Amino acid sequence: MPTSEGHPVALITGITGQDGSYLTEFLLQKGYHVHGIVRRASSFNTGRIDHLYQDPHVSGTRMQLHYGDLTDATRLGELIERIQPDELYNLAAQSHVKVSFDMPLYTADVVAVGALRLLEAVRDAQQRIGRKIKFYQASSSEMFGMVQETPQTETTPFYPRSPYSCAKLYAHWQTINYREAYDLFACCGILFNHESPRRGETFVTRKITRTATRIKLGLVDKLYLGNIDARRDWGYAGDYVEAMWLMLQQERPDDFVIATNETHSVREFLDEVFGHLDLNWQDHVAIDPAYYRPAEVDLLIGDYAKAERLLGWKPKITFRDLARMMTDADMKLAEQELKLRPK
């Protein structure tokens, strides 16, 4: 299954996630043939990409899904060998920081060793097929953790504060090591928080937009949150997937911070969302310490100057527009829920 009819071939792990869905849309528009690895689950987990699905019986199909898991090295090796992608995007992860404190070993297996399994499979496949497979690793601003300097750049020292970020740091350095040791075309995108209407519902921005819109329609009363003083650099996922692709189109592999260079507190996000709905969040939000983390990352703000200079990339969607876009999309879901509710 090598490069198909002149179309470049991409393989995406984590295709069913927020970023996987936007990246698939982006690559299909660019003319790619996109393969994605999907975990087997007892119910469908492809909701974010169903609108992109193409019937494999129809000729000319440019999107194909394959069962696989980052814990299964044999399957990863077999898929890479068979698909022979030009570009491989490793987006799969147990990506929830709070959950990583509850499941540290599983998180390390998927996030840290999972990336290493892929790097080994790529190194092996490249030798056999005699050409490069470009590799993108989804690194994270969480690796900066306990802040050493602001804004954070590619040279800021890391200080991870969770099992998730320790695992991401391992994957980050393995990717760099494989580039230096084996001449892999491997890039790390150090992406700061990025959100969208497709964001998982347990991340703070989506939890807020989902619950605030339900409060507005009288479907629930309260929104329970943890540390609302935390500050993040929040961008739009649709903007960020383009940066992933741009990294793999350069002459030389390199690592880049992708961010907005703005920081906002969870409180400010509450202001934007509840304000947009003509509500006062202080009337509806309660603090539940169950959502506190054993160790917290207090402040993230990223400097994307290197990406702007070398990739020509910069963010397009502002903090306010992002909050409104997510609120408006969740208002539609809340309205549907209200209609379907038994009277």
Show the DSSP H helices in 159-203 as ranges.
163-182
CA angle 79, 80, 82 (to 5 degrees): 65
Rule CB under 6 A: is residue 16 a binding residue for ligand NAP? yes
Q: What residue ranges bind ligand GDD (CB under 6 A)?
A: 95, 97-98, 140-142, 192-193, 202-204, 207, 225-228, 230, 232, 266, 291, 293, 296, 300
Q: How far is the CB of 159 from ligand GDD (least distance, A)?
A: 13
Beta bridge partners of 87: 10, 134
Q: How far is the CB of 102 from ligand NAP (least distance, A)?
A: 15
Give the residue, chosen from 162, 175, 193, 213, that forms a contact with ligand NAP under the rule CB under 6 A.
193
Given ligand NAP, ligand GDD, none, residue 204, with its beta carbon under 5 to 8 Å by kind, binds ligand GDD
Give the residue, chosen from 65, 70, 108, 244, that forms a contact with ligand NAP under the rule CB under 6 A.
70
Q: How far is the CB of 158 from ligand GDD (least distance, A)?
A: 12
Q: How far is the CB of 40 from ligand NAP (least distance, A)?
A: 9
Catalytic-residue membership of 236: no
Beta strand spans in the chain (E): 9-13, 33-38, 63-67, 87-90, 134-140, 186-191, 194-195, 223-225, 231-232, 235-236, 256-258, 264-265, 285-287
Closest residue to bound ligand GDD by CB: 230
> Smallest Cα–Cα separation from 204: which of 234, 182, 184?
234
Give the residue, chosen from 84, 140, 174, 205, that forms a contact with ligand NAP under the rule CB under 6 A.
140
Choose the catalytic residue: 164, 170, 178, 236: 164
Choose the catalytic residue: 32, 87, 142, 272: 142
Closest residue to bound ligand NAP by CB: 17
Residues 6+ apart with CB under 8 A from 261: 151, 233, 301, 302, 303, 304
Catalytic-residue membership of 149: no
Catalytic-residue membership of 140: yes
Kindly provide the b/e burial profile for residues 159-196, where b requires at least 16 CB atoms within 10 angstroms of the residue's own CB.
ebbbbbbbbbbbbbebbbebbeeeebbbbbbbbbbbbb
Active site residues: 140, 142, 164
